[in-house]
Structures are given as structure tokens and as C-alpha cells.
Structure 1
Amino acid sequence: MGESEFVPSVAVSVREFDPTKDIEKVEAVERICEVGPSGKLSLFTDLHGDPICRIAEIGQETVGMIRGCIKTVTCGKKLHRQGKNNTEPKQVPIYTKLAYILGLRVSPHHRRMGIGMKLVKKMEEWFRDNGAEYAYMATEKDNVASVKLFTDKCGYSKFRTPCILANPVFSHPARISHKVTIIELSPSDAEILYRSKFSTTEFFPRDVDSVLRNKLSLGTFLAVPKGLYRADTWPGSTRFLEGPPPCSWALVSVWNCKDVFTLEVKGASRVKKTLAKTTRVLDRAFPWLRLPSVPNFFEPFGFHFLYGLGGEGPQAQKMIRALCGFAHNLARDRGCEVVATEVSSQEPLRCAIPHWKMLSCEEDLWCIKRLGEDYSDGSLGDWTKSPPGFSIFVDPREV
């Protein structure tokens, strides 16, 4: 994403994406734009149903594109006193209208012509016209061209450095602790729990109900100690929150990216490909050994994304491990090769999330820009200057 310098040479026009005639042209640009460094996961997207998209053209040739969306999210929190004498303090979220830039692509044959910057400016115009107070984007910290475009030329500042954790889905099911019970929550139950426990988490979407009810959301799962509840005796989130809290619990939701995104490891050597294939051959020959055979990452494959990950209590990490094992088995049953998530670099539960370093990004980079005056629900000031918290809520619609 991005370009290294501005050298204008030809007239470039930017217009709205027309799904009836532009899909093939834009997908062609997607295919020739390598996303991600050599040896890492590369991403190929399905453009159908994007919230807003602009394309750049030189004559009749499509040479670039950009997508974006606007939503209301938590950007901070304030103390609210409640009760008869206003003595019971409660933290409540401060919301702001946030725009997100995603999918900026410029054809390799037309870079260093200012096309990327022109696309960003056009998208920002749409953001402002629709009341967005901030805009942000995500890129890899090693993507020098992208970072320079946004920070040096477009006025963005480095804001957060979450990590992307990806784990292979092996042919054998993961073992889950028999001391943990996993309960699938209804969307309404999940919404109650999320709003009660996570609404003050940075980037929490005000319309979390829409996320949980989206057709791509495969469910929300709660892990509690064995014997506390059974799936058939779950009292509901309201009673769960009103009653004595369990010593430990954890929560996660699963998003189906399989039909929307395709991943592929590019740039791997022939030796690495051969070694990976050898593990699969050995596993088929000796299945009782339960060898961790490496899936075929060198051709396009599907994945599941874990979001809304969190928990409380001294055994929260144990609960998260059980949920990750459950998510692994769900992905295995649905024919996916990877389970991925993105969390704050300071997330206390991060160490309990299984992942392969070679597939993961230890330091993603989010950059942010203030588009205008802040009209958030509360006295926030400038969000771009706020310190990071321990956790963030990654909206799966923007993955």
C-alpha cells in the first residue's frame, strides 16, 4: 500500500466504483499488487459489497483503488456516578465517529505518480462530508512506502502497534481441557456481555449488535470452569452478570473469512515447500503419532478470525487456551487452514493465544489523523494524543 514519492506525469481521474462494470478491472489490480512481504501471508480480497470504494483511472485503464467505511467507536471513557446518592462510580464509554481506510492499491506500473495520495485525499473528502472526526489505517511497520505516504504526506501519525497472531489448523483436533466448559451464546446474550464488559475498550463498535448478527459471524463462545454451568442450564448473560462472578471466564467470537478473503504464503523457498509437504505425507502414513503437519499455505486458502477476545480471573489464560482449541476444531471442520486474531501488544491474554511466528506480525501499525473538531460524547480532547490501553477491539468487518 502506498508509494514512495510524487512524480506527476499524466492526468489521473478518481471516480466512484461501479460494481456493474468495474469488478473485473479492480480485481485485476488486486492480483498484480503483492500484499505482504515475501514469505508472509498475502491477502486477496473479494470486492463485492464494499461500503464505499473509489478507483483511479488513466484514460480507460484502472490503475488504483481505495476503500473506506465510517462507524462510531469507543475512543475513551469517563467516570459516571450512579445510585441514590450518586456514590457508585461506573466507567462509561466516550464515542467518536471514526473512518477507516482499507484496501489502498496502486498498480506496480503506475507508482510514484501521486496516485495513492490522490486516492487518500478523495476518500478523506467523503469522510468529512459524512461527519467523520478521525480517520485511521493499518499497515505493516516495514511497509516503508505506505508509512511515508500517510505520515509524511497525508498528515497521519503513528498511533497503535497491535500484533496479528496466526496459527495453522492441523489435521488432528486440538485437545481441550476437561476442566473447562464452553457455552455458545445467542447474539443477544453475547451483546449483553460485550456491552457490559468491553464497551469501554478502545475501538469498541457502538453497533456491536450488527457485528454479532452478521451472516459471517459464526458465533460467540464463553468458557467457564467445569461444573459452574452446562450448555443446557445456562441462565443467560443478564443473570450471569447479576450473580456471583465466576473465579475466571473468557469470551471470544469467530468470524468466517473463508468466503471473503484468500490467504497465501508467497516467496517461500522450494526447500521449505518440500519440508511442509513431507510433514503432511508422514502424518497420513502415521496418523496415530498426531504429527503437527503443516497445511498447504502455498496455494490460496481460507481462514477464520477471532475477535472480541477477553476474560477475567486468575485462570483467564487457561480459558482462552480452551477457546482457541475450540476455534481450531471449528476451523478444521469447516475446511480452513488458519485461525488468526489481532490484539493489543499489551494485551494480558496475548501469551495464551497459540500462534506461529512465521505466519504472524508481531507489530502491525495503525496510523490516525484528526479530520476536524471533536464532537465525541464527552470531554475527550484529541484522541490522537491519547496513550494506548491494555486492550483494543478489532472489528472483523475491517480485517
Structure 2
Amino acid sequence: MRNSRRKFWFTVLDRYSRLAFFRKPASGTIAVFGFLIVVPLFMYSVGGYPMLHKERFKGMASDDSNITRSNESMDAETDVAHKENDKRLHRNLFDLNEFDIESETVDLNQCRVDAIPDLSRFNQLRELCLRQNLLASLSDQLAIPTLTQLDLYDNQIEVISNLDALINLEILDLSYNRIRRIEGLSALCNLKRIYLVHNKIEKIGGLESLTQLEVLEIGDNRIKKLENIGHLQHLRELYIGKNKIQKFENLESLVKLTVLSAPANRLTELSGISMLTELTELHISDQGIESLTELTTQKKLTIIDAANNKITKLDGLTHLNQLEDIWLNDNEISDWNELLKLSKLSALRTIYLERNPIYKVDQSSYRRKVMLCLPQVTQIDATLCR
């Protein structure tokens, strides 16, 4: 039986001689077949599989990204909702029931007030403070005829309105808001003080009916010209610092003015104030003023702040017998003889001269020389000397 099987296979192999090499493959044949098998596997492992893996990873990343965006969108919506709730919860943090209905003063300072509350219950209200809140406008809730003082400092008010009922108002503070125009004040005939500091006002106007005004403060705005204030004949204090004013003008009728404060403008001279004989304080620092000789009629001056200008000489000051403080630091005084012009001002007690040329040349003996020139002085710069 075994022999017959062998004969069968030999017969097949003889007939199909082309397959004879399968009986015992040569080593070269094995190498060729191995190469043909290994190379494709290697190419697949290096190129094909990473690409497939990368595509799969992209798909997974895209899915994750979609999920993340969906979660972020949900979170954003939740945050917006929470913020809206926070706004409602963290605004108007006050309770008017805490005030007696007969109170003359209601102080809602820093209470995050975003709308004027109903104050009609306070029949005797005279002073209302709404400082540092979130008011963007003024409503008719302010129609409180008994008010004499209204403080709206540091809000977000853009337009002055709804004040016509405040016929007894004497003090109005609208500083640090977003006001661009002075208006809505025509009914405030008894107003004595108005503060409009740090707004966006470009022109003085709207003060026609404020004939009783004593204090006008409009510093830190965008005003270029002094105008429409000549009728304010009761004005005692005028504050116009940090604007763009180039000269003093239209001040002739303000004969009761005692304080004129105009620092950080664009003044180069002091003409236009000769009629202001009642001045006791003059603040003109941080400009380009070269001389103080125009101060011939201001004999009542007690304070002059002319720091950081271009002053070289001290002429025109010898008649100021009531002068107590003079600020001349950061100027261009280079001659010690200029100080001798102030030696007869017996009321002079304080003088600032630091960072002038006379200070820079010899700082070690600077104070001693000032004391020799001005023996009546008790304070030099920020330091007492006697």
C-alpha cells in the first residue's frame, strides 16, 4: 500500500515537472518569498496603519470637539443666565424702609442703584446722595421740590434731565459722568454750587438762569473757550483746570471772584484778569506761562500756584503784601536775585522752588540760600525750615 502511494506521487511529479522545485525549495526561493511578504507588511506598518489610525483619531477628535463645543455652548448660556441673575441680585442693594419717612437725608452711596427709586414718601427730604452707582439716566422720580442738595457723583449719566421740579436745589454734583452738554438746568434758579468735573463737555452753556451761582467747577473736560459765564455776577469760585483753554476771556464782570483755578490748560500769559481784584487764590500750574507781571491789581492774593511753567523772573509780585504761599517749583528761575524781590512780603510763609536752575546747581546749599534771601519763610518746598 505504501509503495503504491509513492508511485502515484512520482508519476504526478514526473508529469508536472514544473512543480518539481516544490520538493525541496532553494534558499534563494525562500528569500524571494520572504521579501515579497515582509516588504508589504513593512510598508503597511509604516504608512498605511498610521494613516488609518490618524483618520480614526481625527474622527474621534472631531466627535470630542463637537461634544466640547456643545458643552461650552451650554456653559456659556448658563454663565449668561447666571450673570443676568447676578445683575438682578447685586443691584439696588438698599431698603428705603430703613429710613424714617421724616428723614431730611437719604444716603444711597455705593448701593449699585440703576434707577431712581420712588422717594415720594419722604416729604421733608432735603439731601439725596446717589454717589458711585449705576445710574444711566435721570427719571421723574427726582421730582422732589424740597431737595436742596443732590449728589450724583460717579455714575453713568449722559443727559441732564428731569430736574425742573427741583426749584429749591442749591447744590448739584454731576461729576464723573458721561455728560457732553450742559442743559436741563433752566428751572434751578436757586442753584449756588454746581460740579461737572470729569465729563465730556466741549462748550460752556446752559447756565443762563443760574444767576445765583457762587461755585462753578467744570475741570477735566474738553472746553476750549471761556464763554457764557459773564452773567454769573455772584460767582466766587471758578474751577476750570485740565481743559484746553488758551487764554482768560469774558471774565470782566466776575468782580466777586475770589478763587480762580485753571491748572493744566494751554495758557501762556495772564492777561484778561485785571478786573478780578478780589482774588485770594490763583492756580495756574502746568502750562507755558512766562511771567507774573500781570498780577498788578490782585493785591488780596494769599496763594499763588504757578508751578511747572516757564517763569524766569519774579517781577510784579512786590505789592502782594497778603501773599502767604507761592508755588514756583519746576520753572526756569536761575538768578538768586529774583528771590530778593520777595523779601519784603512779610506774610510769606511757604515757597516751593525745587527743580529750578537755582536748585539744581547746588542742592547742598540751596535751602540755606533760600533762608538767607527770605528770612520770613517757615517752609521751603515740603519741609519746615524754622
Scaled to the shorter chain, the TM-score interval is under 0.3
Structure ranking higher in strand proportion: 1
TM-score (norm 1): 0.20
TM-score (norm 2): 0.20
